């Protein structure tokens, strides 16, 4: 049956490969790509080349007003029957900065805004437009573990604080350094897993939520904000490590994301898919008190953008 999947982060990297797989393997899908600037039109032209059903809606995920506008537009198209029923949301877009001081127009720290709040606002604004069975997949990261085994010390581990502190610039020591930015990144990915647990508890039956960890994937655009040496290593040197078990190639990571989105990889709601199978995320990621606090903060921080859109509240 024809259905719609809304996807962020489909323009390049892991998401681009996943989008190709989704369209090739599921001909009934209308893929609605959420992308900024020229990325959207380009993605539609390239992904739709084989006659696949692809369209795009513009949004800069660093702006909650932009996310609200995109989600409202999608709701309208679904209500008017211009899109087939909504059965999926893939929150794959993500950023990693070399500082924790980058501020969005809404006054949030940019990593937290893009990696956490943008997904939350999409989920909440689209929640009452899903047709069950539906699946939400949010891309997480090995870095949320914060131990050497999971990222060989390349990214500092998460440093949890009150979500109201995490949402603002300067939440971590050395906020102007790459370590500060990467701590913001690993902490945002821990937050994503916390929220997936909350979605599994709070969303209506038949709307599943799953966190997907691709592993370390060298050669994508994720480190584009880093210095020239790191960028060179990510682009030229580290892709060679994809031959070793520690790292994952971009094509495998994208295929596995598509496997989770399409249900080829079976994963119950609230689960964490590590590459190609359900596994436990870090021990600290199951802290229910924290999860409740984060949900409450995410609701409050995005409230100005859900007002009037009438998402079915489940608080």
Ligand X SMILES: NC(=O)c1ccc[n+]([C@@H]2O[C@H](COP(=O)([O-])OP(=O)(O)OC[C@H]3O[C@@H](n4cnc5c(N)ncnc54)[C@H](OP(=O)(O)O)[C@@H]3O)[C@@H](O)[C@H]2O)c1
Q: Which is nearer to ligand X, 128 or 238 (CB)?
A: 238
Residue 95: name the closest of 182, 210, 209, 194 by CA. Answer: 182
Q: Which residues of 153-163 are buried (b: 16+ CB within 10 A; e: fewer)?
A: eebbbbbbeeb
Closest CA to 249 of 235, 257, 239, 260: 239
Q: Which is nearer to ligand X, 33 or 134 (CB)?
A: 33
| Residue 206 beta carbon to ligand X: minimum distance, rounded to whole angstroms | 25
Least spacing, CB of residue 33 vs ligand X, in Å = 9
Q: Residue 35 or 195: which CB sits closer to ligand X?
A: 35
Do 246 and 173 contact (CB within 8 A), yes or no? no
81 versus 228: smaller Cβ distance to ligand X:
228
Min CB(67)–ligand X separation in Å: 9
Pick between residue 85 and residue 227 the one whose CB is nearest to ligand X: 227
> Residues in the site for ligand X, rule: CB under 6 A?
8-9, 11-15, 35-36, 39, 60-62, 92-95, 114, 139, 141, 214, 216-217, 220-222
For ligand X, which is the closer residue by CB, 220 or 306?
A: 220
Residue with tokens 């809304």: 6
- Per-residue buried b or exposed e for 67-80, using 16+ beta carbons within 10 Å of the residue's own CB: bbebbeebbebbee
Residue 235 or 292 having the CB closest to ligand X:
235
Shortest separation between residue 63's beta carbon and ligand X, angstroms: 8
Terminal alpha carbon distance of the chain: 32
Taking the complex as a whole, how short is the minimal distance between the CB of residue 240 and ligand X, in angstroms? Answer: 14
**Min CB(127)–ligand X separation in Å:** 21
Give min distance, CB of 28 to ligand X, in A.
24
Q: CA-CA distance, 111 to 102, in Å (whole number)?
A: 8
* Cβ closest to ligand X, residue 117 vs residue 297: 117
- Minimum CB–partner distance for residue 12 and ligand X (Å): 4
Dig out the tokens for 303 from the structure: 């409230």
């Amino acid at each position: 049956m024809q259905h719609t999947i809304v996807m962020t982060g489909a323009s390049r990297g892991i998401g681009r490969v996943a989008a190709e797989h989704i369209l090739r393997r599921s001909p009934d899908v209308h893929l609605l790509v959420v992308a900024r600037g020229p990325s959207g039109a380009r993605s539609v032209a390239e992904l739709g080349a084989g006659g696949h059903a692809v369209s795009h809606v513009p949004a800069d995920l660093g702006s909650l007003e932009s996310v609200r506008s995109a989600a409202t537009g999608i709701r309208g198209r679904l209500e008017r029957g211009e899109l087939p029923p909504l059965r999926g949301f893939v929150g794959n877009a993500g950023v990693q900065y070399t500082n924790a001081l980058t501020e969005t127009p809404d006054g949030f720290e940019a990593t937290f805004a893009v990696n956490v709040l943008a997904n939350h606002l999409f989920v909440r604004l689209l929640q009452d437009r899903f047709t069950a069975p539906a699946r939400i997949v949010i891309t997480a990261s090995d870095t949320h573990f914060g131990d050497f085994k999971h990222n060989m010390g390349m990214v500092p581990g998460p440093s949890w604080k009150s979500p109201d502190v995490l949402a603002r610039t300067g939440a971590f020591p050395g906020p102007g350094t790459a370590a500060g930015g990467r701590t913001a990144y690993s902490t945002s990915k821990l937050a994503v897993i916390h929220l997936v647990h909350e979605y599994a508890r709070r969303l209506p039956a038949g709307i599943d939520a799953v966190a997907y960890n691709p592993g370390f994937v060298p050669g994508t655009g994720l480190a584009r904000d880093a210095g020239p040496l790191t960028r060179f290593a990510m682009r030229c040197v580290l892709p060679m490590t994809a031959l070793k078990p520690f790292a994952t190639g971009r094509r495998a990571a994208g295929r596995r994301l598509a496997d989770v989105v399409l249900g080829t990889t079976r994963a119950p709601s609230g689960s964490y898919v590590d590459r190609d199978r359900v596994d436990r995320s870090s021990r600290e990621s199951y802290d229910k008190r924290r999860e409740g606090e984060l949900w409450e903060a995410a609701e409050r921080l995005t409230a100005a953008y859900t007002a009037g859109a009438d998402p079915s509240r489940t608080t």
